[in-house]
A and B are shown apart, each in its own frame.
Chain A
């Protein structure tokens, strides 16, 4: 290259690469040995430089905001600060050239094919063991060899439907497999999420680079899973089995379920009957054909596998054996992800496939082999010793203890060479910085072979010298661009215009467990709403100059919160209500204190938790609204010192968020089961707070005090309605008529009960006509209300406290928990599993 041209080319990059310090030993993905950008980065670097720092900062902020808004998270185990963490994404993609990728692709397909052959043999004839190609200990000593699954036929002998591998590039530029993922190949959902964010913040670069799209791969995933169905592909029901919201990659599970169009289920949503698997829905059992599992295989069936599992489905193994359902990956596929297999792969590849292994593994010695053991014991100082199998036992750290342990039980250990990871550029404040990266790639079995996701999950070490990357310990990630010299095919899962669509007016039936979640989502949303309204009205009326007992308007409000256990009992702690500072602190604690029982903060946390469970079934906006609501409270404790005025502001915004939530539920959800359960929860909870408020008011000697009644109207959000009807000060008969008996007022008790009855009429009725008792009880409550003659009581306010109306409120309050229980018993049917068979032999 002409010197002047080279100058012009490299000069603009000067500030971008100012702080790019390459390791002298590692391979660098961005720059070649002479410091020039590699060809696949030749376009990206100048473009990044051209954007300039301000624009970069803007895009980086957009990246963070998108991750936050999409709620891309992962869970960290055993962290007292809570489990959920925001996903870390660096916006600069890892770019891979077409030539390099096609080589990798071929190697990966070969490796997946080989591992699948090994699995097929181990769970079938075991010829590889008998003929000495595979050491028996590798299989028999492994907890991941699931004997009850031996002999179960996998359709098309495909045990390994999904495969992932972690790749690292050594200083000489070759890719090595550092670990095989055959149990549950996680990460493809994160790769997809990274892509959606990165392509949005760098749209022009994404277009220019002809980046291979990911959607085609996911379409193959759908085809593969559908074809596994034993009942044929027509209307095959695929579900994604999750361990639940606390699992590390729950976000990804919900995300994939939604993207692929599968029902996200937990073990308790499924049951086996007559050797078939069914999904328990509100209106009965629906057959399941294929289970995409994210539960470790040994946890999948407490009957034949780990009997302490609460995540699985009893009888699943027998249903599999009968050929009535297929699980992907097959149960037992975790066997071949043991690093102890790595030294055997070159030999097995020649033996099974008749060709050399294309993609090497990182140098690995399994101590079960004598030569390998001797090598390891001699070089303990420069090798990394790891457990050979999935086990809780960590290798001892002291060298002599480790040596003794290896000598006593050599099968349990492997040693690997330290891998020098390659480096790639991440964005820091001053431009690009070099950080170690590794690449996780994904494959799906497809038409007798495998298809590779063109891209992957690039993981970035948090520090320059890091060699071990885990999202659990602060790693970040990148999108991975496999670029093409020519424009690429645009595929999307969202437009399947070529396929004929059968029109449907109803969705899939709601799993009973989720009906429960929606019901409580409605209840907690209304609880937050009621709590915020009461506290706001209380704070607005609170006068620090006077003690609270001298402020009558506060009393029905406080009594309501006391009755719901959200404030300490006034009778028991009179001193609190004399001391205005302590009292104010108490009110603020009921809002912000995470440890205060029933605090608004606790309620919003509950809401967020419930919303996370049904994320794949609610709109993204709904998730956003509840996340923002949660964020408003989830602040460090130090910022809790607040003035009452600030708190009022927070409460008002809380109410607006909740109004947005209700609006989205009411206007944007189809009138299907999910919405119905949200609304039932809401109505029930609203009745509870309203009736408690009315009951507390009537019990006060000065119930007819107009300023007190004003507060009641305000909490019940009915002040405007009242003023439009009555041109006078609030009176007990007028207020109670409006809040109890007026069926036009959406805030009245009668209105709530009527809505509940309507819901009951629309719910599926099972064989035992079990909607019956709930409806009967509701009708009884309704009739009691309707019998009250408001006109008769209108003339004599004092009578209300001792009238039928007061009794009816109390009776309604007593019946509410029963109604809730009936709903739970009929529709949620939480079945607790128990186990037998641990009786002893003598």
Chain B
């Protein structure tokens, strides 16, 4: 499946900004099932300095600095991405989850060192026994790893209500859990914290979702905005994605932009401004199948 994606972010500042530094992670990265064939990033006003490189996790990162006085910033990306998702991994034939977890106890063998990075607490996510207890209902003794992940995904979808008003990016996970409400980011975070509490590696994936308009079909939540889900490491097949917001296994309708330990590693555009005061941000995303 091929997509043309336009992602527009507009910041309107209450006060003039004299200098601003930004980090953008907007370029869809290459994954085993995805290639980014074309990408442009336009910034207005024109940055004095701009540099693109890979970050620690291999995501494409663009750092730019605006050194002229401005009260608006617009960032527009256009990407062409082809997605050829591998056949969905068999859920029931995967390793029992305890066996997978055992691989991630010290000492680990060299080939799992990289996924091992995603077992630990990260700046926004902390494992706990309570989360482990919640996860355990999906990961009963002997449950195949991926079947457990699929069941956890389903339970989050059923137990939590999608509610953009309930949380902000700053809402701690405990509160999301207590309210049982939130958005894709909260659900992905919750799923990751649960899996890590069992000693299994899980990572945060940010990206886009193909949307359908009616008639007949229900509109998938997350339309026309950036989306987030999570990924769990299977020693047999590698990383396998799950989307708890929609209770699906991402295939050809999810486009990956970046991944990391939690949202903090992949936030799409972040900036530190001199001046600026408060700001309003307007985001529009268009995912068009070709």
Contacts and interface: CB of A to CB of B under 8 A. Distances in A.
Given A833-B273, A842-B164, A842-B227, A150 B110 contact: no
A271 interface: yes
Interface in B72-128: 105-108, 110, 113, 116-117, 119-121, 123, 127
A602 B105 CA distance: 59
A698 to B, nearest CB: 41
Nearest to A307: B270
A370 B102 CA distance: 12
Given A304-B23, A315-B21, A835-B270, A408 B129 contact: yes
B168 A840 contact: yes
B169 interface: yes
A245 interface: no
Given A307-B272, A318-B63, A840-B168, A132 B110 contact: yes
* Highest count of chain B CB atoms <10 Å: which of A129, A303, A836: A836
Given A129-B113, A275-B49, A842-B183, A315 B273 contact: no
B273 A836 contact: yes
B279 interface: yes
Given A130-B113, A143-B123, A831 B275 contact: yes
A140 interface: yes
8 contacts: A137-B116, A274-B49, A369-B106, A834-B278, A836-B11, A837-B271, A838-B170, A842-B221
Contacts of B274: 271, 831-833
Interface residues of A, number: 45
Interface in A286-343: 302-304, 307, 314-315, 318
Interface in B259-289: 263, 265, 267-279, 281, 283
B272 A840 contact: no
A638 to B, nearest CB: 46
B21 A368 contact: no
B271 A835 contact: yes
A160 B269 CA distance: 33
B39 to A, nearest CB: 19
Nearest to B197: A408
Contacts of B167: 840
Contact of A140 (B120, B228, B269): B120
Interface string A802-834: 000000000000000000000000000001111
Interface in B121-140: 121, 123, 127, 129, 132
Contacts of A143: 123
A215 B21 CA distance: 41
B217 interface: no
A679 interface: no
Contact of B55 (A148, A275, A837): A148
Interface string A110-148: 000000000000000000011110011100110100011
B21 A841 contact: no
* Highest count of chain A CB atoms <10 Å: which of B127, B184, B267: B267
A2 interface: no
A409 B127 contact: yes
B90 to A, nearest CB: 29
A271 B184 contact: no
Interface of B: 11, 18-19, 21-23, 48-49, 51, 55-57, 63, 65, 67, 105-108, 110, 113, 116-117, 119-121, 123, 127, 129, 132, 164, 167-170, 183-185, 206, 221-222, 225-228, 263, 265, 267-279, 281, 283
B2 to A, nearest CB: 23
A195 B228 CA distance: 59
B279 A836 contact: yes
Contact of A834 (B48, B170, B228, B273): B273
Across the A-B interface, give the 7 residue pairs with the lowest CB-CB distance, nearest first.
A837-B270, A314-B272, A141-B120, A147-B56, A834-B276, A836-B271, A831-B274
A136 B117 CA distance: 8
Given A148-B55, A837-B269, 15 more contacts: A130-B113, A131-B110, A132-B110, A135-B107, A141-B120, A141-B121, A147-B56, A303-B22, A834-B279, A835-B270, A837-B22, A839-B283, A840-B168, A840-B169, A842-B225
A832 B270 contact: no
A338 to B, nearest CB: 14
A838 B113 contact: no
Given A135-B106, A274-B49, A318-B63, A303 B21 contact: yes
Nearest to A137: B106
A148 B21 contact: no
A837 B23 CA distance: 9
A9 B169 CA distance: 74
* Highest count of chain B CB atoms <10 Å: which of A137, A303, A370, A837: A837
Given A141-B121, A841-B225, A836 B63 contact: no
Nearest to A302: B272
Nearest to B54: A151
Chain A interface mostly: loop
A303 B272 contact: yes
Nearest to B65: A315
A307 B273 CA distance: 12
B120 A411 contact: yes
A620 interface: no
Contacts of A832: 274-275
Given A143-B123, A841-B226, A303 B116 contact: no
Contact of A130 (B110, B170, B184, B221): B110
A273 interface: yes
Nearest to B111: A130
A34 B120 CA distance: 54
Nearest to A304: B23
Given A131-B110, A136-B108, A140-B116, A831 B18 contact: yes
Nearest to A368: B106
* Highest count of chain A CB atoms <10 Å: which of B225, B272, B279: B272
A798 interface: no
A510 interface: no
Nearest to B222: A842
Interface in A529-576: none
Contacts of A137: 106, 116, 120
Contact of A841 (B56, B67, B185, B270): B185
Contacts of B63: 303, 315, 318
A838 B269 CA distance: 8
Nearest to A315: B21
A348 B72 CA distance: 53
B232 to A, nearest CB: 17
Contacts of B278: 834
A274 B49 CA distance: 6
Given A833-B273, A834-B273, A836-B279, A841 B183 contact: yes
Contacts of A585: none
Contacts of B225: 841-842
B273 A840 contact: no
A272 interface: yes
Nearest to B112: A136
Contacts of A275: 49, 51
Nearest to B167: A840
Contacts of B123: 143
A625 B277 CA distance: 41
Contacts of A130: 110, 113
Given A833-B274, A834-B273, A370 B106 contact: yes
Contact of B227 (A272, A304, A841): A841
A836 B120 contact: no
Given A835-B272, A836-B279, A841 B263 contact: yes
Given A303-B272, A834-B279, A273 B67 contact: yes
B27 to A, nearest CB: 16
A148 B272 contact: no
Contacts of A141: 120-121
B235 to A, nearest CB: 16
Contacts of B275: 831-832, 834
Contact of A318 (B48, B51, B270): B51
A166 B92 CA distance: 55
